[in-house]
Structure 1
């Protein structure tokens, strides 16, 4: 701050004052006096550490700098990875391409370990991007030299400076494309205007970046000085979480100060304060200058100095100072506060010598859906149309800037606050307005799209390759199921049915619920509100009913080629349920396995080749254990001997064994061997979609996977 004040008042004395009136001369001299007094006052202050009580938790990561993700990686490799992730956006402006490369200078300063303002202070140190080869979507390529323009090149070529030193561009020499480049170029991007009408597929780029190596040094109260070519760095004091250093002012922008905790982790910096000191000789000179300024004020008031040149000459003669000579800087005292107690001070000092980092990369250009045609704008009219990969207009530019793609077949534009949807026919290469909107931009099986009459209106489906509506827009629900079926409901009755891709009704709209899975439709229908009248059936993908209302319950879906169904056995007079008959049917509806209620009173669907069953007991308790497993031939491959059991969700299944009111919990394998005893009983199981794995939680909160591995709580 003090150095800035010094530079400010010296520049005020030397600057040209337009008009040079007496009032202006007096005002500037008085302002210089005030700034000089402030400078002398502040430069005499001494920074003194005043340690305060620190609340510090070494287990709190917030108190420490994040670990460098590139630690152990060379700077060249880190920069290569950074430049490889840069994106380039393209705006088609036939006969030009306008490319914008995202420089992300903030991230680059982080990788280099310099201040965020580094490139503002060192504009000549920014990366230089030079195109070398341009590749087009029509598979042709050209050398880039002479084929592109940048904002910087335009300023160098057409820039001019007026009498007062202001920079300007001679716009009379600019083309429409040049004006677009100047107007749209961003300081956050590196922009290129490529003189080619064809859309660009990729561009080869040479990237250079001047680098300075840095060295790390440590300071402690015992070793508190470091000699450098620019002067000595001193650790004046270090108390608790504060440190006071004196650094040659010329090094301020070339040094980074960090504090290390006792275990080597870097503490977070909370605040900093600095003061630039001056020598005794300089202080005497500045006091003399202040006296000269006071004398100059009196001389101006007496009209003996009437212009800036006379004022400058007077001050130089009386003070003996040379204003055109660079001001020598002294030392800067820097006080820093960190998040916790400091063990060492780490200095990162950059070398003055530079090396040039160079790399060559190919940047692909992303287009929506990577498919013809491409949105482009006419420079003169500003109107938007569609361009093919050879650079020719497929759809003439007649739309406004709101024109945008919805997907590969549909576009949207806004005209007088009203939206309009357009369909592009890839065969005829024509664009036509349509009287519907897009409900969901997803393209199913590369050709089918859901449409609606208006926003949140009735839904239908269109063949996007031809524009033909296949399913009428009269449904509140329309859900696609591979390999090509659409479950829908009627708008008024809410009854559900199913369509084919061709719009043919496969299942009539009379069901309360329809579900499709693995080649079969599972339906529910109740002609009354009485629960016992509910009808459940299974249809194949040809729409054929394979169960025909014969079963009271459909258990799950087909697994291992078999589906579990049940029939309720009721008392003829009371209609009370007497028992349940279990069947496994195949894909034609044929009953492959049959288990009367006398044998099993519970069966579960097949899972990985085995089905869990519970035998019927001859006592008053129907559901009191005796679980086992059968194979797809109905053979009991694991006896019904367990009080509880789960499916084989991995290598093993969980079982509970009861003997004389004592329980044992374990995992068994498919050969009915106990492979692992467990500490407590079953709570529940769940499937983790992300890990694609089943887990079991036991009564004492222990968690295992079904391969027997204990899982630590996350």
Structure 2
């Protein structure tokens, strides 16, 4: 599927003439919110999204299609901590050949995730067959709905919604869940206990005299343990009224491909890069800093070691490791002392 979403405060964009450097860095929680996903960290890490710049929005109100005209500086990295996938991602840094300040970027975000499928259960259709087992509606009385499913599906079971006959959704007032062994597991436990009790009697009567004899006896007498997948889980959901049918959502076992068009804006509180329509810019030829306007024209030539925007037209200007706050005189294209 393809969908569109807007988010603020997600990218850093540095004006480096003749290119802009765009830095994109998110963690797992940001990524969940950004893509509208409700899947675990491991699923996201296993299917790390690909961010592809598509359209640039400039501060002067114009836009430009990227059309693949950019360079990726860093490949996507997944940091590891203590041998486990960490919660932090560092995504690509993009060098885009434009020399006007960037305000926002559209990305095509390509990723894979496990979507959800909804199943309807009612008084006629009480069983839904799902990959991995089946879900059964056991009872539906006085707003209390009880279902069962294989315990191995427990983490895949999502939301359950109850509905009136007219299709109106009922308010959910609570949910409980528990699991119990299957009849096969209970029978196996009983027979296993009997076998161990018999082994103790044989040891007491000195009919089993060594560890090897005990191990051989148990290997011969103990029955094979039933598969854990046979264990049943049960869930009760309570609704504020009589339920005609329910919709239960189950996470699909196989991931599906998806693309979301995402607009990411420059940090709103990033005052180190722009001030009242003027922007700190770096000349890649001499690695010096100056000031440009929204169209990318030099207002103050790049001759300074560093510049940081402050407020009310003021900038911290650094030269030879010494910095002081100065005011921008845009008309005369220079910095002036505050006392002037």
Report the RMSD for the aligned CA atoms in angstroms. 5.2
Is the contact between residue 132 and residue 204 of structure 1 (CA under 8 Å) also seen in structure 2?
Answer: yes
Rg larger in 1 or in 2?
Answer: 1
Q: Find the residue that maps to 1:328 and give its secondary structure.
A: helix
Is the contact between residue 309 and residue 316 of structure 2 (CA under 8 Å) also seen in structure 1?
Answer: yes
Report matched runs for 1:685-696 at 5 Å: none
Match of 1:405 in 2: 310
Partner residue of 2:93 out of 193, 203, 209: 193
Is the contact between residue 15 and residue 280 of structure 2 (CA under 8 Å) also seen in structure 1?
Answer: no
Match of 1:52 in 2: none
1:277 matched to 2:180: yes
Deviations 1:248-306 (A, max 9, x none): 223331443111134322223232211122223333555648997xx9xxxxxxxx99x
Post-superposition offset of 1:425: 1.8
CA distance in 2, matches of 1:119, 1:359: 19
Q: Find the residue that maps to 1:373 and give its secondary structure.
A: strand
CA distance in 2, matches of 1:386, 1:225: 69
Post-superposition offset of 1:334: 0.3
Report the CA distance shift for 1:375/1:286 in structure 2 as closer, same or farther (over 3 A).
farther
CA distance in 2, matches of 1:86, 1:321: 61
CA distance in 2, matches of 1:432, 1:285: 88
Is the contact between residue 394 and residue 429 of structure 1 (CA under 8 Å) also seen in structure 2?
Answer: no
Report matched runs for 1:74-223 at 5 Å: 76=1, 79-82=2-5, 84-85=6-7, 88-90=10-12, 92=14, 97-100=22-25, 103=30, 105-106=32-33, 108-109=35-36, 116=38, 118-120=39-41, 122-124=43-45, 128-131=49-52, 143-152=69-78, 155=79, 166-167=82-83, 187=88, 191-194=91-94, 201=102, 203=105, 205-210=107-112, 214-223=116-125
Report the CA distance shift for 1:199/1:317 in structure 2 as closer, same or farther (over 3 A).
farther
Deviations 1:9-52 (A, max 9, x none): xxxxxxxxxxxxxxxxxxxxxxxxxxxxxxxxxxxxxxxxxxxx
Is the contact between residue 220 and residue 345 of structure 1 (CA under 8 Å) also seen in structure 2?
Answer: yes
Match of 2:257 in 1: 356
Report matched runs for 1:573-588 at 5 Å: none
Higher RCO (C-alpha under 8 Å, 6+ residues apart) = 2
Q: Which ranges of structure 1 fall in alignment gaps of 5 or more residues?
A: 1-75, 169-184, 296-303, 306-312, 377-384, 414-419, 436-466, 468-714
Post-superposition offset of 1:428: 4.8
CA distance in 2, matches of 1:215, 1:352: 10
Report the CA distance shift for 1:355/1:337 in structure 2 as closer, same or farther (over 3 A).
same
Count residues in correspondence. Answer: 288
Q: Find the residue that maps to 1:250 and give its secondary structure.
A: helix
Post-superposition offset of 1:333: 0.4
1:372 matched to 2:278: yes
TM, length-normalised to structure 1: 0.32
1:250 matched to 2:152: yes
Post-superposition offset of 1:332: 0.8
Q: Find the residue that maps to 2:3 and give its secondary structure.
A: helix
Report the CA distance shift for 1:247/1:97 in structure 2 as closer, same or farther (over 3 A).
same
